[in-house]
Amino acid sequence: MPGGVSSPVRAFGAVGGTPRFIRRGEGAYVEDVDGRRYVDLVMSWGALILGHAHPEVVEAVKRQAELGTSFGAPSKPELELAETITRLMPAVERVRLVSSGTEAAMSAVRLARAATGRTRLLKFAGAYHGHYDGLLAAGGSGLATLGLDSTEEQTLVVPYNDLPAAAAALEARDVAAVIVEPVAANMGVVEPRPGFLAGLREACDRTGTLLVFDEVITGFRVALGGAQELFGVRPDLTLLGKIIGGGLPVGAYGGRADLMAMVAPEGPVYQAGTLAGNPVACAAGLATLRVLERDPPYGRLESAAERLQEACAGLPVTVNRAASLLTVFFTDQPVTDYEGARRSDTAAFARLHGDLLDAGVYLPPSQFEAWFLSGAHDTAVVSRVEEALVQKLKRIIAAR
């Protein structure tokens, strides 16, 4: 395999050392093939909001697998998942299930171009919307980690949180869609400034541009109705993934009924997939959403993340947090966009990553990724992370 991995950041290229090959996960912990146990702050990059191997999710997967793993035909789990998504996210009036967030983004872009008759896109520097060519321009996440980048002539890029620049670009050029992470989480966590998302909505309405929220990370993570509920802004189209698959491969795009009516077989915008709406993935996602509805963990998750943030107060680092998402940046300056994130001392982060691994805490192996908590991260687990984090940060800062 290129780099020995199936996804680049997993190779530990940005932090050094040997990638951990994980054998099993349980609750808030993972265990590698050498038997070492870690508190997990990756949580399958945010997909496992209930923790590893949650009993209800495992049972749903087993039950569906015994009935069949794939049919290439409609099934009850996909219908029930679609019904649940559209009920919990009012802006998603109709939804199409796919197999990844990248597929969701690619399909939504195709739909936006067909609906508007325009080709250009507007995105924000440091935002990652999957490895679709047209959306890799100035991407964060793995591109920033590995020093890679891409520019596409049909893609306009402006700084995140810069509403005047975004509005000016829309006024100057015919743009099919603005695609935005309502909470940036692929340059590390960066919250939207007050009025930023609402201002994008107004600018899109004024210029006939579609507003696309990439909620692959924030969907069902920051609130039951996603970031669009948290910030009270209604997009035209929404991208989903991660949590709606309960840890299995999945993606979805949805939105206004009139737009989704343009998708084949009802309309001319073709999109298909052999494993789209896979019954096992849908069963896992449906089980996850049912638990989230029955016992919402959002207050507990946010309190845990706030505790870690406050533990770092007084240290010359910046801890950005949005709901339960957080990132520690090695800079004492505010981080409000990609340029601010890139000022972080990545060598110091690499040392933090290694030191915390030694202490039994598994961070995302990149400065430019969010840290994720789950419902399984109880008070005792958070205390362990807090103690290790503060201790290692103080040691690294003292040595700089």
Point out the residues that are catalytic.
Answer: 128, 214, 242
Tokens (6 digits) for 100: 């990844």
* Of the candidates 223, 163, 225, the residue with the CA atom closest to the CA atom of residue 198: 163
Integer Cα distance of 228 and 218 in angstroms:
9
What pairs with residue 190 in β-bridges? 184
Integer Cα distance of 134 and 282 in angstroms:
28
Edge-to-edge order in the sheet of strand 120-124: 94-98, 251-255, 237-241, 210-214, 175-180, 120-124, 155-158
Integer Cα distance of 323 and 326 in angstroms:
8
DSSP label at 154?
Answer: T
Phi, psi of 300 (to 5 degrees): -65, -40
* Of the candidates 291, 307, 326, the residue with the CA atom closest to the CA atom of residue 41: 326
CA dihedral for 141, 142, 145, 150, sign (positive or negative): negative
CA distances in angstroms from 351 to 15, 358, 392, 397, listed in the order given: 7, 11, 9, 11
